[in-house]
Chains A and B, each alone.
Chain A
C-alpha cells in the first residue's frame, strides 16, 4: 500500500473543506476508499481498558497482594535525580521493616478477601436452597 506524503492533501480529487461539519463525512469517505484499497484492516477499533468494569473477587485477590513499585518512588522536581536516588537508597535500607509491614498487611488482606468469597458462596447456596423450596 503506497503511503501518501506527509503534506499531501486529501486524495481522489476532493476540493478543500471549508467547514468542520463536512470533515467527519469526508474522513469516512476517505477511510472507505482506503479500506477498499487494502489499508487499515479491520482491527483498528478502540479497546476498553481491562480495569474499568466491576471489581471482581478475583481482582480483589490480585490487589490483596501488595507489591509497591520502587520506580514510583521518585522526585518530581526538575533535576531531582539525586533526590530520587537518595529516596530509593533509604527504602533499601528499610527493606526489612517494610517487608514485615507488607507481610502483615497482606496476611490481613488475603484472609479478608477469602472470608468475603466464603460468605458469597454461602449466600449463593442459601439463595439456591430458598429458590428450590419456593419452586
Chain B
C-alpha cells in the first residue's frame, strides 16, 4: 500500500537531531515506496532545500501527517483543523523555567509547546514518543495507547571508532592527557556549568593535564560567554567550547576522548549517549529524564549532588581498563537495542496504525 506521509516539525536546524531524524525517515519512506514532503514552521539557515516552509503544506485527504513535537507550533490550530490521519511523535520539551533568564524567546516556544501538548494528544489518531519517559508524559495527559519510536541514530554520519567518516578526518591515537567530552546544546538545563565544575575537581586532584571539550551550539552568545568565563576561572586553558562542528570534526572529538560526561538535568532522549557508545566511550551521567531509558546498564549513573564523586567516577572510567572494556561491551549492546532497522520497523507500524485507526 502506498502512503503519503508529510512530516511537520516546529523547527528545523542543521545540527538538530530531530531534523536529522526527519531526513532519515524520509529516506525510509522513499525505500518503502511512500510519498510526501517535510515541512517546518521555523527553518534555520543551513537547512538547504530538504525542509519546506510550513505555510506551503498542501495535502490530499488520505495523506498522513507525522507531527514531530519538540517546541511550540505557530498556527497549530490550522494544522489540527486538517482532517487527515495524524501521528504525533513527541520528543519532549525543555521546561521553560530553565530558559527564561538566558533565552526568553526559546522559553516562550517551550512554554507554548507544553501548553499545546494536551491539544495535540486529543487531536491525533496515534500518539508516539521517542522514549518511555516521554511516552509516560503522553499517558499522563490521557493518551490511551502510546508507541515508543526511539530517536534514530544515523551511524553512518559519524563513521566508526576506527574508520573516519570522511577522508580528512584525523584518525590519530587517543590523547595522552585524559580528555573529557560532552556534546549537547550549550543551554542551562544541560548543566555544562556543572560539567566544568566536576572537571575542574578531576583535573585538580586526579589529572593535572586533563582537558575538557564541550561541543554544542550556544543557546545565546551571552550564555556561551558565561561558560567560558567559568571555565577560565576554574580550569584556565583546559576547556574548549566548540560549535558548528561538521560530522567529521565531531567524530574526531569522540575518537580522541577518554570519557563522556553528561550532567544534564532534563533530557528527552540524549542521542550523544548513543554516539558515545558508537565510539566505545565510557559514559558518566546523571540519571535525569530519559537518560536511564537510553543508558540501560551501560553507563555509570550518578545522582549524588557531590561533584567530587563525579570526579572520582571520571577517574575510574579513564583508568580502569576492565571497567572500560565492560562499559564498551554493554554500550555496544545498547546500540544494538536502538538499531536503525528496529526504529524503522516501529515507525512503519505506527504509520500503518494511524491509517488503520482512521479506516476503522
* Contacts from A to B (Cβ < 8 Å): 1, 3-10, 16-20, 23-24, 26-28, 30-31, 34-35, 39-40, 44-47, 49-53, 55, 59, 63, 69, 71-72, 74-78
Contacts and interface: CB of A to CB of B under 8 A. Distances in A.
Nearest to A45: B305
Contact of A46 (B299, B305, B312, B318): B305
30 contacts: A3-B205, A3-B206, A4-B207, A6-B178, A6-B206, A6-B208, A17-B323, A20-B299, A20-B326, A20-B327, A20-B330, A23-B316, A27-B316, A28-B309, A30-B315, A31-B308, A31-B309, A31-B312, A45-B305, A46-B306, A46-B307, A49-B193, A51-B102, A51-B188, A52-B188, A53-B97, A63-B100, A72-B222, A76-B45, A76-B244
A72 B302 CA distance: 34
A102 B13 CA distance: 29
Contact of A45 (B100, B244, B307, B330): B307
Contact of A34 (B45, B205, B225, B319): B205
**Main SS of chain A's interface residues?**
loop
B201 A76 contact: no
B97 A26 contact: no
Contacts of A47: 193-194, 197
A44 B323 contact: no
Given A45-B305, A74-B221, A3 B204 contact: yes
B110 to A, nearest CB: 13
B46 A51 contact: no
A44 to B, nearest CB: 4
B166 interface: no
Nearest to A46: B305
A47 B194 CA distance: 8
A34 B312 CA distance: 10
